[in-house]
Structure 1
Amino acid sequence: MTRFQVLSDAQWDAIAELLPARTGRRGRPFADARSIVEGIIYRYRCGIAWRDVPQVFGPWQTIWTWHRRLAGDGTWDRVLERLLTAADASGMIDWAVSVDSTIARAHQHATNVTRHTGAGSNYTNPHLEPPDHAVGRSHGGLSTKIHQLVDGHGLPLVAPGQSGESPAFPYLLAHLQVPRAGGGRSRTRPDRVRGDKAYSSRAHRDLLRRRGIGAVIAEPDDQAGHRRRRGSRGGRPPAFDRDDYRGRNIVEHRFCHPKQWRGLATRYDKLAIVYRAAVVLNAVIAWTQHLSDMP
């Protein structure tokens, strides 16, 4: 492979049949869809403008158009879903999952659009553009948050967009669905969830308890102090497996991989769905690599 190619033949074979053959309903067929996908990957790896994508991948307009349409119709999500189905059928998913988020600074090119702030990002349908374009203000300025649920091996299961850790947690659980290879109901319930203190709330613990999911979530000092001050009315401290919690750092390690792509470490995309699609594409590549390493 050259510096212009990331996908091996085995990785490409895993996703080729799941991709559309045309740019649109009446578009012309792609002569080499692999080059276009590699062009999308190259753009985000290098963090360059779409116009600067090398000609070896084809016209930059075609590469951008294809990525925009794949982002809007959820193609990369369906590809990831198929890969997760194959991994689950092979017993390659560790269902002791961890949850966390990371911040990506938004470049000025991504923020010079009208944002209707205060509406909140649209988590109901991740393929619809939210009114605030998933851009929020943090201590470092305008930014976008990447939330992920990863399995026990550190491979991503779900990846949405901008919000705080606590509001995004129910969304992550609700959208965790891995279809079964032989049909039947999709798997939606992990064995347990590891989370840091940002995910510690009575509502979240009740949600996990109702669904029969183990909670390995650290309790903040202020919550523990409030519970102790209430005496017997404060109830017992939540169960916490300190040894199992040490495995939560796998999600921290996972965030190092998407941030090796300069176009993900810094958000240059105006549209949230376009940026999110690149995050999902990064997860697709991780799973194709994992599946191709399978003996």
Structure 2
Amino acid sequence: MSSKSLSRFCVLTDQQWARLELLLPSNVGRRGHPFGDSRRVVEGIIYRYRTGIAWRDLPRSEFGPWQTVWKRHRRYAGDGTWDRALQLLLSEADAVGAIDWAVSVDATIARAHQHATNTTRPDQDTGALSNYKNLPLAQVEPAGHGIGRSRGGWTTKIHHAVDGSGRPLAVVVTGGQRNDGAMLEQVLADIRVPRHGGGRPRTRPDAVLADKAYSSGVIRRALRARGISAVIPEKSDQIAARKRRGCRGGRPPLLDTDVYKDRNVVERSFALNKQWRGIATRYNKLAITYRAAAVLHACITWTRI
């Protein structure tokens, strides 16, 4: 199917699809009915999240039965297809030096629709969902499904690590009440870029750019231990506490203000991410299917280079 056949329903160019198609599971060795038109189904997944409509409302004339599109999305979310695709795209980009390893991190809130919250879950569960252990995601669905109660009601938080050009390297989903700084270790652990030609994957950025929510001695020491430059401003209360202690308060941490100006790339990344209405508002009951949409968005971003 060419990009023209889907007209305004199409997002992927022929060049982008040619790259994504090679990263999807094949029918080799698979029992049962073989997968049909994969491009049509993937475009259906994208269209659903881009518009935020219900799965049942997918135009059948353009994408076929909605059940097929949903089942494929659920399969790809559970077996980690999009995570593997993202790693391979990152590997290709790193091989040509297209990744800027001055990494910016932050988190954004998404309101959970009532269709996403009618599940059984423990109160204030703080479990996180990422792919840092490289396990099948079906095995690591958090008990609270990545939904927590914050001042905005039932919400989900997406934690991102992006390269210097604002392209996602890691995606972690938690409940909306989860502290940003407490999740930094897991967000960085989710960065895994395989090397072309073998060898250990790259997992360490050159620098981490973050706002004051990540300013703590624990975080700074952890980054220093890994040889990562911390570009994080101090909180005002931390500055005041250090000054009250006088010479015992130690020296203020260094901050490269020119480098810190580039931290806003992560904010621009969230702005692009939330142009998909199904990500800006969470309708999914399961964290694995919601996170899979964010990872698919990241894959599309990397196919543009």
The TM-score by the shorter chain falls in which range? over 0.9
The unaligned stretches of length 5 or more in structure 2 are none
Give the drift of 1:210: 0.5
Partners of 1:149 and 1:188 in 2: CA distance: 12
SS at match of 1:186: coil
Partner of 2:158: 146
Give the drift of 1:89: 0.4
Task: Report the residue type matching 1:113 in the other structure.
Answer: T
Alignment of 1:182-261 (within 5 A): 182-261=197-276
Task: Report the residue type matching 1:6 in the other structure.
Answer: V
Give the drift of 1:21: 3.2
**If the length of structure 2 is used for normalisation, what is the TM-score?**
0.92
Give the drift of 1:117: 2.2
Pairing 1:176–2:179 present:
no
Q: Which moved more, 1:234-243 or 1:116-125?
A: 116-125
Identity %: 60
Task: Report the residue type matching 2:120 in the other structure.
Answer: T
Partner of 2:113: 107
Partners of 2:235 and 2:294 in 1: CA distance: 30
C-alpha distance 276-10 of structure 1, shift in aligned 2 (>3 A): same
User: Contact (CA 8 Å) 1:216, 1:240: kept in 2 or not?
Assistant: yes
Partner of 2:145: 133
SS at match of 1:257: helix
C-alpha distance 206-227 of structure 1, shift in aligned 2 (>3 A): same
Task: Report the residue type matching 2:141 in the other structure.
Answer: E
After superposition, give the CA deviation of every residue in 1:216-240 in whole Å (9 maximum; x if it has no partner): 0010001111111122221111111
Task: Report the residue type matching 2:74 in the other structure.
Answer: R
C-alpha distance 99-124 of structure 1, shift in aligned 2 (>3 A): closer
Partner of 2:58: 53
**Residue 265 of structure 1: which of 280, 292, 297 is its match?**
280
User: Contact (CA 8 Å) 2:104, 2:162: kept in 1 or not?
Assistant: yes
SS at match of 2:74: helix
Give the drift of 1:174: 1.4
User: Contact (CA 8 Å) 1:166, 1:199: kept in 2 or not?
Assistant: yes
Partner of 1:72: 78
Partners of 1:251 and 1:132 in 2: CA distance: 26
Partners of 2:227 and 2:168 in 1: CA distance: 22
Partners of 1:232 and 1:182 in 2: CA distance: 51
**If the length of structure 1 is used for normalisation, what is the TM-score?**
0.95
RMSD over aligned Cα, in angstroms?
Answer: 1.6
Partners of 1:132 and 1:226 in 2: CA distance: 37
After superposition, give the CA deviation of every residue in 1:101-138 in whole Å (9 maximum; x if it has no partner): 11110000000111112442144767221111100122
After superposition, give the CA deviation of every residue in 1:233-284 in whole Å (9 maximum; x if it has no partner): 2111111111111000111111111100110000000001100000000000
Partners of 2:89 and 2:130 in 1: CA distance: 23
Task: Report the residue type matching 1:29 in the other structure.
Answer: P
Partner of 1:33: 38
The unaligned stretches of length 5 or more in structure 1 are 291-295
Task: Report the residue type matching 1:9 in the other structure.
Answer: D
Partner of 1:283: 298
Partners of 2:125 and 2:267 in 1: CA distance: 29
Task: Report the residue type matching 1:11 in the other structure.
Answer: Q
Task: Report the residue type matching 2:104 in the other structure.
Answer: S
Partners of 2:265 and 2:36 in 1: CA distance: 40
Task: Report the residue type matching 1:38 in the other structure.
Answer: E
Give the drift of 1:41: 0.2
Partners of 2:29 and 2:118 in 1: CA distance: 29
Partners of 1:100 and 1:164 in 2: CA distance: 11
Give the drift of 1:22: 4.7
After superposition, give the CA deviation of every residue in 1:62-99 in whole Å (9 maximum; x if it has no partner): 11111011111111000000000000001110111100
Task: Report the residue type matching 2:157 in the other structure.
Answer: K
